[in-house]
Structure 1
Amino acid sequence: MVKPFRYLVLMIIVFCFACNDSVKTNFKETEAVNKKQHKEVIYQVFTRLFGNINTTNKLWGTIEENGVGKFNDFTEKALNEIKDLGVTHIWYTGVPHHDVIRDYTKYGISNDDPDVVKGRAGSPYAVKDYYNVNPDLAENPANRLEEFKALIERTHKAGMKVIIDIVPNHVARNYHSVTNPEGVEDFGASDDKTKTYDVNNNFYYNPGEAFQVPEFLNGYQPLGGEKHTLSDNKFNEVPAKWTGNGSRLSQPHFNDWYETVKVNYGISPDGRKDFNELPDGFDNKDYKVHFEFWKDKTVPDSWIKFRDIALYWLDFGVDGFRFDMAEMVPVEFWSFMNSSIKTKNPEAYIIAEVYNTSLYRDYVKKGKMDYLYDKVQLYDTIKHIMQGHGSTDHIPHIQEDLRDIEHHMLHFLENHDEQRIASPQFAGDARKGKPAMVVSATISTSPTMIYFGQEVGEPGAEDAGFGSPSRTSIFDYVGVPTLQRWVNDKQFDGGKSTKEEKELRDFYKRLLNFTINSSALGENYQDIHHYNRQQTEWYNDQVLSFVRWSDKEKLILVSNFNAENTYGFELQLPKDIIEKWHLKNGNYEVSDQLYNTYKSILKVEGNTGKVRIDIGPLGSYILKIK
């Protein structure tokens, strides 16, 4: 979900790294997971945009005017090409049935009100029915679940795992499932609406007050002002519910998440927790112990509803989940939820959107999350460097700060919430993502995520309706031009891609495939940047270097973030690295693993090593010692 208001808070803590070593205890599950020998790569794809080859891109265009992609557009050929990019998991974004301004009443689906829907195609984070999928994505909406099931099977056949969104913090204002399993009732169906709060109410209420549509700002009009039978600046909701971002106003602000309502997890308006808290020491217990703890506990109704939703999709064939704004939901719920998921499928893949650095360890250790977004530290720092006003000196400190949970920090340079690298508002040039991508993908054992179109330099320039350019719209029907050229009338072969787009995709393919096959990237890391900042002439804070190694593979990684300058220097390896690598005095050939065109000699003498580096603008080397 796009959350523009959060950034002021986040920027305050960008460089506030935790310094208390007592927090960084030995965590057995972290140690165990770090024994994985190879990294993983997640391809986030906005499902309704991937296969859309319509290039009209009319402002506020309808599905007939601007087109839409379908589940069936992910053909065997398309999926194999994604797999060959170096991808291990696909996150199909926008799959659960969310509000959408299109008439599907003949399929038993009620119409949605434009006054409480963002965009024409709707926000994927205003889910209307958790037991079904977006009808826009199906060739035959009546068979939409069957078509999604077939996509899961094709994805598995191609050798990749499937991830979908679950958004536990909020649901659409008009939540209503048409396909609830037997015995399952809708959110809020049994709520006591005479109370602001009850532990088993699914929502919070303002008794005696009716919901009012927000006052639209800056000339905004739903559907761009197009006439619609339901667009009358009214939405019937009595009593008014609290809004998804926590606003208690019966008339939320335009910048609130007014299209959604906040889910109640048993926390009273004054902050009281009406559920059991985890005993001391549970941060070091595995999911099995957590599962046993909750077995005999009474928990709020919302907890049960979301657990059942997750288990339903696991039964359906989904391999994991990305949890939206997980930090807005109590960590005890995540212990309950994720231990249930892992009990059903120990290999289930769980990603959480968490931005508060002080909560990281709670959500990993107590909440049993596999991976958290590394946005506030690594992403924000790298973005500043790419924009020309940051320093690589900060990056080693981030890795040090996160050393006990580094495997659990998901790395990315783009996702649906962030600006496209190639947009003028970010870097203005997709090539500036190349050194950043090498660093992001190789500096830790954590997974790497890329956003569809990133690999061909998509700038997100289209003005689709709700929101503004620089981020590919998640609210409206639109085409993605650079990706459409690669899709090439659904041949998925890059037949219409430019030379620059092909070269960029080749870079991503080389890098990502290297990461998933490298044993060194699954094991040891050490910074050599600060050592070289002190010891090496011409080495500066636009360059970053570090080493990775395993018993089978020893790597020296160097990236140049400067878009104009070539740098030449004698990169030095300190004594402790030479000792750990058991290198004797002598010369060792090193060769770049990305393009196999750069070679140099590592000279070891007197327990130190030196290797000549000549690196061009935006260049990177992954040097392997023979």
Structure 2
Amino acid sequence: MNRRTFTSVLVATGLLHTVASVAHEPILLRMDTSEPQEERSDKLIIYQIFTRLFGNQKTTNKPWGSRDENGVGKFNDITAKALQELKKFGVSHVWYTGIIEHALMTDYSGFGIRKDHPAVVKGRAGSPYAIKDYYDVNPDLAVDVANRMQEFEDLLKRSHANELKVIIDFVPNHVARQYFSDAKPAGVQDLGEGDDTGKAFDPQNNFYYLPGQSFQVPAGVVTPETPEAPYLENPAKATGNDVFSAQPSINDWFETTKLNYGVDYLNNRQPHFDPVPSTWTKMRDILLFWAAKGVDGFRCDMAEMVPVEFWGWAIPQVKAAHPGVIFIAEIYNPQQYRNYIFTGKFDYLYDKVGLYDALRELMEGKGTVENIIRVWQQESGDYANHMLRFLENHDEQRIASRFFAHDPWTAVPAMTLSTTLHTGPLMIYFGQEVGVNSTQAEGFQGEDGRTTIFDYWGIPEYQAWTNGSEGKPALFNGGKLTDDQKELRKFYQQLNQLVNGSHAIRTGAFYDLQYVNNNGQSAGYDQHRLYSYLRHSGKQKLLIVCNFDREKPAKTTVRIPVEAWKTMKLDDAKTYSFTDIFRTKTKLKVAARAGVPVDLPPLGVLVLEIK
């Protein structure tokens, strides 16, 4: 449904309040006051590490540089000290991105690993989403390539020893064009092995074929290495982003091939799920393989491109064998959210087309906080706690970049709100907390405000935190950070600590206060840039106010209605203390019916505990 015309009628206390939407049509606003089960918390703090970049201390940064020129981080660079610092930072889970072996241009044929053709590899270091062997790890990440799996398993043990759970990517929709597993366990049939390549579609084939046609490398593909021979693929396979053409474009996922889960895309997407398709069992077994090693969760790439029926079949089997394993879906279609949670059995979904989009507009000086109302209305009820909030990840532009907000400090109100709006998990991308800013084309990635996922590179701002040098172990103490970077990291750490220490944020209910403060009801209250709400549990009551204006301070009074006091089981005839437990340590004593005086600088926030 179009977000501009979205209307939701959700009843908790029996009170409905009308506010004006962006287009000034009336919408119904409900206060989400249901009290979650307090024994459970979905408030994970996930720290995404792009493993290849994390520990690299080289500063050469030559565009299109080789592994040896630009350097590459290793499993062993993520030391016990590094993990201890992340634990102190407030992290509960680490998502190691780029673990499973993928196509790359570096030659590891001396270790029995087939060399990849450079015409179907993006960047010298390759895309971690073009999986080459689901049963192996990226040789780039090992000090001793022959011992690479053991080095990963040692990292897994180090992470667990430091009370951090581990998430890795599961890429179910597509694989590298030259997929071949040389590390699969005995008795495992490889993907494509046994396929009838003379058929465009067969439910028991693992790939889709274009019989009689040879794959053509897209026009415009340039490689830094001259191939020994042309790339040959006959018959051509369908490309990962559902392109059924022998010559995809350079903008397609041309380096990948689409996996076949029994959906006949060229025949009105007819499903063929009985008997269970071969791809289903092979992919379930891959999940079980990694879960058996102790992996605690899977971030599932482009999960909505795989039929929801597969997830509903596979996830319960993995969880039955390995209780506690979590599944996170990368998904961008809000109309499918409930389906992938309740039918597909996912624990958490990306909240990109929703809160991220609304907050990004505000951070760029556009939009209105009324869009936040629309998001929580849509997500409240039975799945708000399933939404994973973030402002950066490997796919998105860096906050500090010229393509986004130009300034990492604009994240203060947005990150505070992302973290405290509901009980679901949050995610921080490595370097976000020190203001990483991608300022040049690293190679295949190009200059687009993102940290490269295709190239060998060093990240200067992150190297300042790791505080090492080439050939010397990193200290992971922030010794080379500027004062501003140290303060920014302190903000993120305080935010994580706030979450970990707050019963109301981790498990409490939400109550929106916009309806009683908008439209001149509170003098000086900017209904487009100021957002206020309550988070409350039986043990703690919080008033949270965020000023999204980059230039103007906010001086107003935030009213809390009688219904809200009743919902919190507090007497609205009494006087209460309001103490900022986050950044300013402000202390106020206010009669409940008088409203709370607020004086916030631009991009300021308050988290006031009510006692």
Query: Hey, what does 2:165 align to over in structure 1?
Result: 161
CA 549–176 in structure 1, closer or farther in 2 if over 3 Å, else same: same
Query: Hey, what does 2:457 align to over in structure 1?
Result: 478
SS in 1 for 2:245: coil
Query: Hey, what does 1:5 align to over in structure 2?
Result: none
| 1:517, distance to aligned residue in structure 2 (A) | 2.3
Moved over 6 A (4+): 30-34
Q: Is the 8 A contact 2:50 2:96 kept in 1?
A: yes
Q: Is the 8 A contact 2:445 2:455 kept in 1?
A: no
1:366 and 2:343 correspond: yes
1:318 and 2:318 correspond: no
1:17-67 C-alpha deviation (Å, 9 max, x unpaired): 474879xxxxxxx99877524621000110010001111110001111111
One-letter amino acid of the structure 1 residue matched with residue 360 of structure 2: K
Q: Is the 8 A contact 1:17 1:398 kept in 2?
A: no
Query: Hey, what does 2:603 align to over in structure 1?
Result: 618
Query: Hey, what does 1:502 align to over in structure 2?
Result: 486
The gaps in structure 1 that reach 5 residues or longer are: 1-11, 23-29, 277-296
| 1:471, distance to aligned residue in structure 2 (A) | 0.3
* Residue among 92, 97, 108 paired with 1:93: 97
* Residue among 253, 267, 270 paired with 1:270: 267
Distance 1:344 1:471 in 2: 38
Distance 2:440 2:596 in 1: 46
Distance 1:346 1:603 in 2: 49
* Residue among 349, 352, 365 paired with 1:388: 365
Query: Hey, what does 1:464 align to over in structure 2?
Result: 442
Identical pairs, percent: 47
Query: Hey, what does 1:538 align to over in structure 2?
Result: 524
Aligned-pair Cα RMSD in Å: 1.8
Query: Hey, what does 2:226 align to over in structure 1?
Result: 228
| 1:368, distance to aligned residue in structure 2 (A) | 0.1
Q: Is the 8 A contact 2:64 2:442 kept in 1?
A: yes
The gaps in structure 2 that reach 5 residues or longer are: 12-33, 469-473
1:589 and 2:568 correspond: no
SS in 2 for 1:573: coil
| 1:460, distance to aligned residue in structure 2 (A) | 1.8
| 1:354, distance to aligned residue in structure 2 (A) | 0.7
Q: Is the 8 A contact 1:113 1:235 kept in 2?
A: yes
Q: Is the 8 A contact 2:532 2:546 kept in 1?
A: yes
Distance 1:20 1:337 in 2: 34
Q: Is the 8 A contact 1:15 1:377 kept in 2?
A: no
1:244 and 2:240 correspond: yes
* Residue among 286, 304, 307 paired with 2:284: 307
Query: Hey, what does 2:20 align to over in structure 1?
Result: none
* Residue among 26, 31, 55 paired with 1:51: 55
| 1:625, distance to aligned residue in structure 2 (A) | 1.3
Distance 1:527 1:348 in 2: 33
One-letter amino acid of the structure 2 residue matched with residue 602 of structure 1: V
TM-score, scaled to structure 1: 0.90
Query: Hey, what does 1:375 align to over in structure 2?
Result: 352
| 1:411, distance to aligned residue in structure 2 (A) | 0.2
1:184 and 2:188 correspond: yes
SS in 1 for 2:146: helix
One-letter amino acid of the structure 1 residue matched with residue 142 of structure 2: A
Distance 1:111 1:610 in 2: 68
Q: Is the 8 A contact 1:462 1:472 kept in 2?
A: no
1:96-495 pair list within 5 angstroms: 96-216=100-220, 221-223=222-224, 227-230=225-228, 234-268=230-264, 269-276=266-273, 298-403=275-380, 404-469=382-447, 470-489=449-468, 490-495=474-479
Distance 2:565 2:278 in 1: 58
Query: Hey, what does 1:518 align to over in structure 2?
Result: 502
CA 69–356 in structure 1, closer or farther in 2 if over 3 Å, else same: same
Distance 2:222 2:485 in 1: 36
Q: Is the 8 A contact 2:207 2:258 kept in 1?
A: yes
Q: Is the 8 A contact 2:36 2:509 kept in 1?
A: no
Moved more, 457-466 or 349-358: 457-466
Q: Is the 8 A contact 1:14 1:377 kept in 2?
A: no
Distance 1:254 1:246 in 2: 14
Query: Hey, what does 1:6 align to over in structure 2?
Result: none
CA 481–201 in structure 1, closer or farther in 2 if over 3 Å, else same: same
Distance 1:366 1:20 in 2: 24
SS in 2 for 1:196: coil
Q: Is the 8 A contact 1:435 1:620 kept in 2?
A: yes
CA 168–33 in structure 1, closer or farther in 2 if over 3 Å, else same: farther
| 1:182, distance to aligned residue in structure 2 (A) | 1.1
Distance 2:435 2:7 in 1: 35
SS in 2 for 1:222: coil
SS in 2 for 1:614: strand
CA 34–255 in structure 1, closer or farther in 2 if over 3 Å, else same: farther
| 1:235, distance to aligned residue in structure 2 (A) | 1.4
Q: Is the 8 A contact 1:39 1:517 kept in 2?
A: no
1:572 and 2:559 correspond: yes
TM-score, scaled to structure 2: 0.92
Distance 2:281 2:353 in 1: 31
